[in-house]
Amino acid sequence: MEKEEAAVSGFVRLSNIITAVQKNLERVKSDRAQPLNLKNGEVFMMFVLYENPEGLSAEALSRACNLDRSLISRGVQSLSEKGLVVWDKKTDGKRRYGAKLTLSGQGQKIGEIVHRNAREIQDFLDEGIPREHLEIMYATLQKLCSRFEELNRRARQRKAKGVCGSKGSVPV
Do 102 and 157 belong to one domain? no
Sign of CA dihedral 18, 23, 24, 29: positive
What 3-state class would DSSP assign to 11?
Answer: helix
Quote the pLDDT of residue 81. Answer: 95
Quote the pLDDT of residue 121. Answer: 95
Quote the pLDDT of residue 41. Answer: 86
Do 104 and 146 belong to one domain? no
Counts for the chain of helices (H) and strands (E), in that order: 6, 2
Do 141 and 59 belong to one domain? no
In a domain, 169, yes or no: no
Count up the domains in the chain and report the number: 2
Quote the pLDDT of residue 1. Answer: 62
Do 72 and 122 belong to one domain? yes
Q: Give one DSSP letter per residue of 60-114, joined into a string.
A: HHHHHHT--HHHHHHHHHHHHHTT-EEE-GGGTTS--TT--EEE-HHHHHHHHHH
Quote the pLDDT of residue 54. Answer: 94
Residue partners of 132: CB distance under 8 A and separation at least 6: none
CB 58 within 8 A of CB 76: yes
Q: How far apart are CA 99 and CA 107, in angstroms?
A: 18
In this structure, what CATH number is given to the domain that contains residue 9? 1.10.10.10
Do 53 and 79 belong to one domain? yes
Quote the pLDDT of residue 92. Answer: 53
Quote the pLDDT of residue 170. Answer: 55
In a domain, 36, yes or no: yes
In a domain, 172, yes or no: no
Domain range for 145 is: 129-161
Do 122 and 81 belong to one domain? yes
Do 8 and 34 belong to one domain? yes
Backbone angles phi, psi at 102, to 5 degrees: -130, 165
Sign of CA dihedral 120, 123, 127, 133: positive
Q: How far apart are CA 55 and CA 115, in angstroms?
A: 16
Quote the pLDDT of residue 4. Answer: 65
Quote the pLDDT of residue 10. Answer: 87
CB 115 within 8 A of CB 51: yes
What are the residue ranges in the chain where pLDDT is below 50?
Answer: none
